[in-house]
Amino acid sequence: MTQGSAQGSLARAVPEGGPTPPRGAFEQMGAVADAVLYEGYLLYPYRRSSAKNRVRWQFGVLFPRDWVESDGPVVPGVSGSADSWYQQTECLLRIRRPGASVRVRVRYLQNQRKQVEERGGDGGHRAVESLRTDDGTVHLTFDEAVPRETDVTAALDDLLHGGHTVEVGAAAGEDVEPLPHRAGQVVRRREEVRARTTVTAERLAPDLCRLRVRTANTAPAPDLRTTREDALRRALIATHTLVGGEGVEFVSLIDPPEELRAPARACRNEFTFPVLGGAPGTTDVLLSAPIILPDHPQIAPESPGDLHDAAEIDEILTLRTMLLTDEEKREARATDPRAAAILDRVDTMPPEVFARLHGAVRSLTPATPPAERPAWWQEGADDGLSPTTDTVLVDGVPLGGGSRVRLCPRRGADAQDMFLAGRTAEVAAVFHDVDGSVHLAVTLDDDPAAELHTWYGRFHYFRPDELEPLESAPEPAPSDTPRSGGR
């Protein structure tokens, strides 16, 4: 993770009469948990007209069951990039003392429709897509989201004897904001969101339990012909769970101790992926997220704020944001208040803060010596780059757009890449970095959304040494002269 926490007040819902968990491990996870909450909320270039921002809310979305299963039951997976009606976390915890308790915090976004309305001559209002007021400010109709939380605290003994269930959700609402100069108004509407979270525990040994947290959308389903965009009004978005406790310790499911490997493998996590949270070496909090993360995920200390895509590099997104035209910036500001906040932060970023984004060392891979840089780097080279037609040699096979490969991520690669080991894919493009390194963008053969990902430019990226060509090396002609890393 490379982004900072999103800013904004959280609307907390605590079961009536129940205790409020003390500040501590959950609050220390705030920046990472907020990065999960707003992952993909709004993507660069942060404009409503951008194709990437027309297909939104991709992670941890829980719809009403009848609607999401209208074409058949959902297929459980380990992360929440597929729409579902429930999310289930199972983890292992060690009991360290009698009277232990468990606390769970379910976090999500509630969809909010921002509708711009123009004032008519008769004093009434009509819905419009955009409106420019006399001061030149543009207001755009767009979907926003409101952060929500529900806390559950229960004695472990109670969870071992029947479990604990609480209602999760947020009420419908409407807020009206008059626009200056009596030009009109902005109306923000929210539909009711209903869900239920059940926490249970199963004893595996005197000092070991399996904990289960299951959250399900219980809202009545809209008409089955309702579009996904409209069905989102009753969905929980970016749903994720924080789990802590008193007198308990959590076990890593990624790297469990040898004696717990079997019970760790038996944990069934559906549409979510639990990892240890907090500082490395701690075991007092668990983050179960709809995206695959490593144990103890952290926000990069250089990051000055959230850019709503924790899989990106702050420096690149900041530079790109700086290059937006004035008209593009006006549209981004009119699209969403969080987009406006990003632009304000980038426009006022001190040079020393920006300098910190460049040069942070997170890999011991040696830099390519200048003499070994590719031909295109040499001063005066006249052959530009073309990601869709460039190729790179791997095991004697030139790989480029359309090449078939098998994925072999190196040890220590990103956790999401490790889960793709052995899968086959097609190369979409070849990208060269200014330091001479090469990455290939690929789409998975068995990904039903591959065409959609290609449409709005989302790929998986691998180094050449992480790919195995599925075609044989061609027999070189006598006159052929191989070009290392050429096209």
Instruction: For 153-203, write each residue's pLDDT tens digit.
Output: 999 999 999 899 999 999 999 999 999 988 999 999 999 999 999 999 999
Distances (CA, A) of 71 to 9, 65, 74, 126: 38, 11, 9, 36
- Is 334 within the bounds of a domain? no
- Is 370 within the bounds of a domain? no
Q: Which of 266, 289, 312 is the last residue of a domain?
A: 289
**Lowest mean pLDDT: which of 128-137, 385-394, 445-454?**
445-454
- In this structure, the answer to whether residues 279 and 397 fall within a common structural domain is no
- pLDDT digits 0-9 by tens, 216-230: 999 999 998 899 999
**Lowest mean pLDDT: which of 313-327, 428-442, 455-469, 472-486?**
472-486
- 349 pLDDT band, cuts 50/70/90, is confident
- Is 355 within the bounds of a domain? no
- In this structure, the answer to whether residues 68 and 214 fall within a common structural domain is yes
pLDDT for position 311? 55
- In this structure, the answer to whether residues 112 and 228 fall within a common structural domain is yes
pLDDT for position 314? 79
DSSP 229: H
- Average pLDDT (259-270) is 95
- In this structure, the answer to whether residues 266 and 404 fall within a common structural domain is no
- 442 pLDDT band, cuts 50/70/90, is very high
- 374 pLDDT band, cuts 50/70/90, is very low
Q: What are phi and psi of 392, to 5 degrees?
A: -140, 140
Structural domain count, the chain: 2
Note whether 254 and 92 are within 8 A (CB): no
Q: What's the chain's average pLDDT?
A: 84
Q: Which of 263, 289, 315 is the last residue of a domain?
A: 289
- CATH code (residue 423): 2.30.30
- In this structure, the answer to whether residues 255 and 391 fall within a common structural domain is no
Note whether 129 and 116 are within 8 A (CB): yes
Name the helix (H) or strand (E) containing 30: helix 30-37
Q: Which of 258, 289, 320 is the last residue of a domain?
A: 289
More confident residue, 486 or 34: 34
Percent of the chain with pLDDT over 90: 53
- Is 46 within the bounds of a domain? no
Q: For residue 432, what are the domain limits?
A: 385-469
pLDDT > 70? residue 322? yes
Percent of the chain with pLDDT over 70: 84
pLDDT > 70? residue 421? yes
- Is 75 within the bounds of a domain? yes
Rounded CA gap, 43 and 444, in Å? Answer: 22
- In this structure, the answer to whether residues 102 and 206 fall within a common structural domain is yes
pTM: 0.72
- pLDDT digits 0-9 by tens, 31-82: 899 999 998 898 888 899 988 888 888 899 999 999 999 888 888 887 777 7
- Is 192 within the bounds of a domain? yes
pLDDT for position 484? 41
DSSP per-residue string spanning 38-103: TTTSS-TT--TTSGGGTS---SS-B--HHHHTTTSPPPP-SSSSS-BSEEEEEEEEEE-STT-EEE
Instruction: For CA atoms 466, 471, 475, 479, give the dihedral sign.
Output: negative
Note whether 99 and 144 are within 8 A (CB): no
Rounded CA gap, 402 and 399, in Å? Answer: 8
- In this structure, the answer to whether residues 145 and 255 fall within a common structural domain is yes
**Among 63-72, 298-307, 373-382, 467-476, which range has the highest average pLDDT?**
63-72
Q: Which of 265, 274, 245 is nearest to 158 (CA)?
A: 245
pLDDT for position 414? 60
3-state helix, strand, coil in the chain (%, to 5): 20, 30, 45
Q: What are phi and psi of 355, to 5 degrees?
A: -60, -30
- In this structure, the answer to whether residues 245 and 389 fall within a common structural domain is no
pLDDT for position 356? 78
- In this structure, the answer to whether residues 392 and 281 fall within a common structural domain is no
- pLDDT digits 0-9 by tens, 73-88: 888 887 777 789 999 9
- Is 218 within the bounds of a domain? yes
- Is 295 within the bounds of a domain? no
Rounded CA gap, 25 and 284, in Å? Answer: 7
Number of H helices, E strands in the chain: 12, 23
Rounded CA gap, 302 and 308, in Å? Answer: 16
- pLDDT digits 0-9 by tens, 284-317: 999 999 998 999 998 877 787 778 875 567 777 8
pLDDT for position 248? 96
**Lowest mean pLDDT: which of 141-145, 181-185, 335-339, 383-387?**
383-387
**Lowest mean pLDDT: which of 73-77, 103-107, 228-232, 234-238?**
73-77
Residues 6+ apart with CB under 8 A from 21: 103, 105, 151, 153, 244
